[in-house]
Amino acid sequence: MANTIALKHRIGSVKNTRQITKAMELVSASKMRRAQERAKLSRDYQVAAYDLLARLSTLKEVEIHPLFAKRKVKSRLYVVITSNSGLAGAYNYNVLKALTSSVRSDRDNGIASYVITVGSKGAQFARRLEHIQLTAVYPALGDTPSSADLWPILNTMIEEYKEKKIDQASLIYTVFVSNLKQQATVLDILPAKVAEETDKPTYKYSFTNFEPSVDVVLDSVAVRLLEIQVWQALLESLASEHSMRMAAMKNATDNANDLIDDLTLEFNTARQSAITQELAEITGGAEAIAK
């Protein structure tokens, strides 16, 4: 009897957990659809903006601008985007693995590593890492971030670069590819550079004229182009987080169903055994009295 009572309690506990995971799965599915739409709508714009930023960095006229000045890399800043909560599969793990690999490479090359984290999971991990300096910590910006949320992060990154405290800045975030695939990515944004596969551009600036001047144009354009990169990284990360959390909660719900079936079978077997034993005892007692 004690065994059946314990099994009954376990079944009830697993059912309660299944209700929670199912609810989280449905919430994540709803948030995921909205996050995917927002990420996809601005993706082409981000790609074009990064291409323009990279092309500008190749021009001789912009080399004197503080945001395009290229220096020997002695220190690098990483903006790492994670979540505030877990239960999202390998979402945080993949990003933090990319950070660890980059920091290890910097250490081997004698490069100082600085980190700005977005999300408490990244901050908790970065505090335990050696050979890095945690520059700033920001909480996750929620499901509907605004441009005002980005400016503290962007301003910190730009000021650090202008003051020559860092020589390069990179974003580490998760790109949403599909519901089944999300990829942790390291994107260099200061100074921007042309990707290896596009080292031979399809077009060239044979003549470039900045009106009214190089400084005026770049002051208004460069920051905007950088803002787009950070903005898209946040949108991609949100879509990836909700997608991976939905998948993780679906797996948890399926596992709970399987566990409930196994426990129910075990409970029925134990109860049947108890009933059979009671019947045997009653029959044995009746036969003893009859004799």
Within-domain flag for 255 = no
Task: State the angle between helix axes of 214-290 and 147-162 in degrees (0 to 180), rounded to the nearest 10.
Answer: 120
Does 56 map to a domain?
yes
User: Cis before residue 191, ω within 30 degrees of 0?
Assistant: yes
d(CA 72, CA 154): 22
The CATH number of the domain holding residue 172 is 3.40.1380.10
Angle between helix axes 214-290 and 91-108 (nearest 10 degrees) is 130
- The reply to whether 100 falls in a domain is yes
Total domains in the fold of the chain: 1
Q: What are the φ/ψ torsions at residue 58 (nearest 5 degrees)?
A: -90, -5
Q: What is the pLDDT of residues 249-273, one digit of tens each?
A: 999 999 999 999 999 998 888 888 8
User: Tens of pLDDT along 177-228?
Assistant: 888 889 999 998 888 766 555 444 444 544 566 666 666 777 778 888 888 9
pLDDT at position 69, please? Answer: 80
| 49 found inside a domain | yes
Average pLDDT over every residue of 233-261: 92
pTM of the model: 0.82
Burial category of 255 from C-beta neighbours within 10 Å (exposed 0-12, middle 13-18, buried 19 and up): middle
Residue 179 in domain = yes
In this predicted structure, what is the pLDDT of residue 256?
A: 92
Helical ranges in the chain per DSSP H: 2-56, 91-108, 120-126, 147-162, 214-290
Which residue range forms the structural domain that includes residue 189? 39-198+209-246
288 φ/ψ angles, rounded to the nearest 5 degrees: -65, -40
